[in-house]
Amino acid sequence: MRLEHKVTLITGAGKGIGRATAELFAREGAYVEIAEVDMAAAEATVAAIQGNGGQASFARVDVSQESSVANWKDEVLRRHGRVDVLFNNAGISSVGALHDVPRATWDSILAINLTGVYLVSKAFLPTMMEQRSGSIINMSSSIVHTGLLRRAAYSATKGAILAMTKSMQVDYAPYGIRVNALLPGTIYTPFVERYIKESYPDPEEAVAGLKQRQLAPDLGTPEDVAYAALYLASDESRYVWGSGLIVDGGVTAGKPY
Ligand SMILES: NC(=O)c1ccc[n+]([C@@H]2O[C@H](COP(=O)([O-])OP(=O)(O)OC[C@H]3O[C@@H](n4cnc5c(N)ncnc54)[C@H](O)[C@@H]3O)[C@@H](O)[C@H]2O)c1
């Protein structure tokens, strides 16, 4: 039990990487608190965890809305009185070269992917500072190192998250709070399925193309990232401070040809 009795918060855990992480954290003994906008998906994650003998709750939270985050904070702190791990995972994608990105899309992707990390972290940091402990995991992407076709707005948010992670780490180190980022490559989730449908006429050809960008033979699974999150959440990573952990099947390691 690598997270026994830990109170772990995960945003966007109704699907994909968040869901796999919620299930893994619960199997490792954590109490999992989920913030989601998709209630049916959040309910399904909690049912799966409870069906396995684990403990979890969910709330309807839009990470880009300060009042929604404030309500969640009150609920979580009323229930547990402490927070050990915060995984800022919720995010949306957007497709388009910069000149094609409508202002509304730009604003909404920044609001959810970046302002969401700011708002949720800001809400729970005072508790962690008082405890003088905590592990924050911010979801970035390997796109910050390589760039990717027609992903200008999305990559802007993920680059900002990596930079913010390092500055947060400097500020909160004196409180014993660790802040790290995760940089996944292509992980086959509903998010990527959507991206493929929006971007390519032939999905199979698209998947083959995505595989060519990496060294590993297969695309990543949500569990591949969940295990990295588990490491950063647990005390096993006690000496890992302000890092960006790459989980990308070798996309950023080098070209396969
Ligand atoms: N899948 C990949 O290849 C990949 C690669 C690198 C980084 N990431 C990042 O990992 C994170 C999770 O991605 P995924 O592939 O599991 O996505 P996903 O779409 O499968 O799941 C994301 C979840 O976040 C929720 N969500 C969206 N907006 C929200 C909001 N405003 N408030 C609360 N919840 C919200 C969605 O309802 C959804 O359940 C994202 O931040 C994404 O940018 C994904």
Cβ contacts of 74 within 8 Å, gap of 6 or more: none
pLDDT of 190 > 90? The answer is no
As a whole number, the mean pLDDT across the chain is 97
pLDDT of 195 > 90? The answer is no
pLDDT of 257 > 80? The answer is no
| From 71, 92, 144, 154, mutation site for ligand 1 pocket: most ligand atoms within 8 A of C-beta | 92
User: What is the tens place of the pLDDT at every residue in 95-135?
Assistant: 899 999 999 999 999 999 999 999 999 999 999 999 999 99
pLDDT score, position 131: 98
Name the fold adopted by 7-188+222-246: Rossmann fold (3.40.50)
Which one from 31, 118, 154, 195 is the annotated catalytic residue?
154
Place of tokens 């990717």: 148
Distance 237 CA to ligand 1 centre (A): 24
CA-CA distance, 128 to 100, in Å (whole number)?
A: 41
| From 189, 224, 251, mutation site for ligand 1 pocket: most ligand atoms within 8 A of C-beta | 189
pLDDT score, position 255: 82
CA-CA distance, 65 to 30, in Å (whole number)?
A: 26
Read off the pLDDT band of 200 (50, 70, 90): confident
Read off the pLDDT band of 191 (50, 70, 90): confident
Rg value, the chain, Cα: 18
pLDDT score, position 129: 99
3-state secondary structure (DSSP) of residue 138: strand
Strand-pair category, 7-11 with 31-36: parallel
Percent residues over pLDDT 70 in the chain: 100
pLDDT score, position 199: 80
pLDDT of 232 > 90? The answer is yes
Read off the pLDDT band of 19 (50, 70, 90): very high
CA-CA distance, 85 to 33, in Å (whole number)?
A: 10
Q: Tell me phi and psi for residue 31, to 5 degrees.
A: -90, 125
Q: 167-179 as b/e, with b when 16 or more CB fall inside 10 Å?
A: ebbeebeeeebbb
